[in-house]
Amino acid sequence: MTVRRKQRKATTKQAKSPAVSPVVKSQGREFWIALGAFVVLVLVFHWKPLMSPNATQQWDTIDYSYCVQKFVSEELKSFRLPHWSEFGYSGFPFLSDPQVAVWYPLDWPFFLAGITPKTMQWELALHALLACMGAWLLARLLLRDELCAGVAAITYGFSGFFAGHASHLNVVQAAAWLPLVLFGIHTSMRRVTTRNVILTGLACALLFMIGQFQIAIYAFAAIAVYAAVVAAMEKRWRAAVIVLASCGIMTALLSSILWLPALELYGQSTRAGVRFFSQTNAALEPRALWTLVSPDHYGSVSGNYTGPQDQTQFYFYAGLALLPLAVLGLASRRVRWFALALIVPFGWYAFGPAAGLYGIVARLPGFGAVRAPVHDWFVVALGLALLCGAGLALISRSRFHWFGIVLAVVTFGDILYWNSLENHLAYFHGSYQSRYGAYEETFKRAVLPARPDGARMYWQVVSNAVGPMNSAYYLRIPVTYGYTPVPLKRYQEYAAAAAGNPNLLNALNVGLLLAPAADAITVNTHVLPKFFFPKRIASIDPGQAPAQLSTATPFENSLVEGSIDDLLQDDSASAAVDSADPQHYVLHSDAKSPSLLRAAIPWYPSWRASVDGKRVETRIVDHAMIGIPVPAGRHQVVLEYVAGKFRLGAAITLLTLVAVAAVAVRARVVD
């Protein structure tokens, strides 16, 4: 009986857990072989900028990403979340800026390890690996040939788009996810399972969490187009609706922690209401297509650039074999329509308003707010890479089996030379010290010893004369300038007027004036405190303020938007700061009549004020600063930054993560 019972249990166990087929085992083994191969190729490709002291990243990757990541890393290690930082723009909702990407999990190990200039190159290398593996999986799914898929991966993951945009870290990060997401979409539509849909939805969310909304919009458009082609060719329309809807909902909910605060910031930024229907700043120029076959056509590789204004946008080289093989790949019925769906509409759109399609697409939700149509080239590059792999597959299936291996090696060597070893777009061919460090040291010597505690530093321009443009973040110097794509609109207008009106600078708590070369400072003896009571106040309509800033005298007469009937300004009122934190201030005020306390802090909806524990509404003063109505007498005044949108977004994200995990566990148990 015991033997029979054991046999029955064994039979039942086998029925529940069927043996893994040799095909599945083979595919798993091929995946790990491919991963190992691409790790080696990525290290070879990035070896010089990773290891050489005479190579460093440059432009936005250093001026923006390096600076904010270093600051975030230091703040997190001190167990702080810098929702508002005083080290840029006289105060800025730092974590609301989506491109800080603090919620992107692949950046977390680097935050913990500590950020250096070389960290940026390691992040680029990691995403090159992600791009290659995603492209390999997608191409293998379509081609059913590992070697040809490998060539497709090489021509995408090491392509000119990634070399040209190495100076835009978050662009590279977002574009690297596209092939893997398309692979997940295609796989999920073929077999709609909980596991497939959840994994694909997570990949979509991660792409979005990088915070590069322009690349995300193009990527999700490519996902929709690709899914439509899969549905049409494989008759899976119902699966397309289920998969796309599920991934869209997951992305929206999981990324709430990012986009809810970001929407609030965008509403107050210089991007608010801007629409690029008929004008852009980076449309594809036909002559730029020569870089597909002649990498130094514009001098991008040699460093003697002669092309359109932003050279990072117009470099597309992905190997001399790319176009011939892509043309040959058009004969592949299996791949042709998938690739053309990525190449034709996105290539057409990239030419901007003059080509026609852009003007139509720009009226769709989200597209009117993005301004660089040529940024969508990564979608075109992926389509060309798939055709390239298909063309090689047609050749390698003939008697020239050895040709595929030889061409893969030659193509990688070709791209390695032009897109890494010699390319001046991929990285700066010199040390960090020579490119940024020496200027930063000069800046620190000039500013740090003489800086009065709490006083801001004013600089009319933003350049690399201070080292990286946002170096004030990790140097922890309160400054009036900054470098971000979404500065606060009201503050920018105030700062522009302050360049010609020293009264505005005094009222901005500016204690130091930096020389244009950033090598000397002047102490401002007329600096006003961060909090003060103006002698008089005047009521104005919101639209009138910008025109009056050029002659405004905030200490004598501050301009207050809206009614001031309940305020009888006491010209002898005083305020003393008891405690100061960039996100929380406690003061004591003393006034003989209800008066307005002016704070040299940019107005933003998340700031909350209270008097003796009772909430009071803040006012907009001098077009961009915070005003706090204070009753007569002695009172405690508290001004604090309340990240309400973040809290709501974080709650939604966490609840969604719990729900997704529960569904995944339940599906695993049922399966």
Evaluate whether 174 touches 220 at the Cβ level (below 8 Å): no
Among 506, 523, 540, which residue terminates a domain?
Answer: 523
DSSP state string for 634-652? EEEEEEEE--HHHHHHHHH
Residue 474 inside a domain? The answer is yes
Same domain, 490 and 576: no
Identify whether residues 170 and 247 lie together within a single domain: yes
Q: In Å, how far from its chain's centre is CA 398?
A: 45
Domain that holds residue 567: 531-646
| Domains of the chain: total | 3
Query: Residue 20: is its pLDDT beyond 70?
Result: no
pTM over 0.75: yes
| Same domain (yes/no): 235, 292 | yes
Residues in the chain: 671
Q: Is residue 71 part of a domain?
A: no
- Spatial neighbors of 493 by CB under 8 A, at least 6 apart, are 546, 549, 623, 624
Q: Is residue 499 part of a domain?
A: yes
- 467 secondary structure, DSSP code: B
Report residue 16's pLDDT band, with 50, 70 and 90 as the boundaries.
Answer: very low
483 and 539 housed in the same domain: no
Is residue 435, in this structure, part of any structural domain at all? no
211 and 253 housed in the same domain = yes
Whether residue 347 sits in one domain with residue 218: yes
Specify the pLDDT at position 3.
42
Cα–Cα distance measured from residue 611 to residue 589, given in angstroms and rounded to the nearest whole number: 9
Q: Is the pLDDT of residue 13 over 90?
A: no
For residue 580, the SS3 value is: strand
* Cα–Cα distance for residue pair 442/464, rounded to 1 Å: 11
Within a domain: 388 = yes
Tell me the pLDDT tens digit for each residue of 201-220: 999 999 999 999 999 999 99
Tell me which residue has tokens 């050029």.
Answer: 550
**Confidence label for 450 from pLDDT (cuts 50, 70 and 90):** low
DSSP state letter for 86: S
pLDDT of 224 above 60: yes
Whether 90 maps to a domain, the answer reads no
Of all helices (H) and strands (E), which one includes residue 156? helix 146-157
Tokens of 608: 């909350």
Residue 662, both tokens? 């529960």
246 and 178 in one domain? yes
CB 623 within 8 A of CB 493: yes
Q: CA distances (Å), 480 to each of 104, 169, 512, 543, in order?
A: 28, 25, 10, 24
pLDDT digits (tens, 9 = 90+) for 28-83: 889 999 999 999 999 999 999 999 999 999 999 999 999 999 999 999 999 999 99
Residue 17 pLDDT: 39
Cα–Cα separations (whole angstroms), residue 310 to 222, 291, 318, 436, 561: 24, 15, 20, 21, 40
> What would the pLDDT profile of 381-393 be if each residue is shown by its tens digit?
999 999 999 999 9
Does residue 297 sit in the same domain as residue 391? yes
**Shared-domain flag, residues 465 and 539:** no
Indicate whether 415 and 341 sit together in one domain: yes
Q: Is residue 238 situated within a structural domain?
A: yes
Question: Which neighbouring-strand residues pair with 638?
Answer: 586, 610
The order of strands in the sheet holding 584-591 is 574-581, 584-591, 633-641, 607-611, 614-616
Mean pLDDT of 233-255: 97
- Among the candidates 421, 455, 490, a domain finishes at 421
Task: Please give the Cα distance from 638 to 628 (Å, whole number).
Answer: 10
- Which of residues 468, 503, 523 is at a domain's end? 523
- In which band, very low, low, confident or very high, does the pLDDT at 451 lie, cut at 50, 70 and 90? low
Q: How far apart are CA 582 and CA 90, in angstroms?
A: 10
Q: Which amino acid is at 109?
A: P
Per DSSP, what are the bridge partners of residue 56? 428
**Could you tell me if 304 and 247 lie in one domain?**
yes
pLDDT digits (tens, 9 = 90+) for 177-189: 999 999 999 999 9
Closest by alpha carbon to 478, among 91, 93, 94? 91
Same domain, 310 and 239: yes
Across the chain, what does the average pLDDT equal? Answer: 93
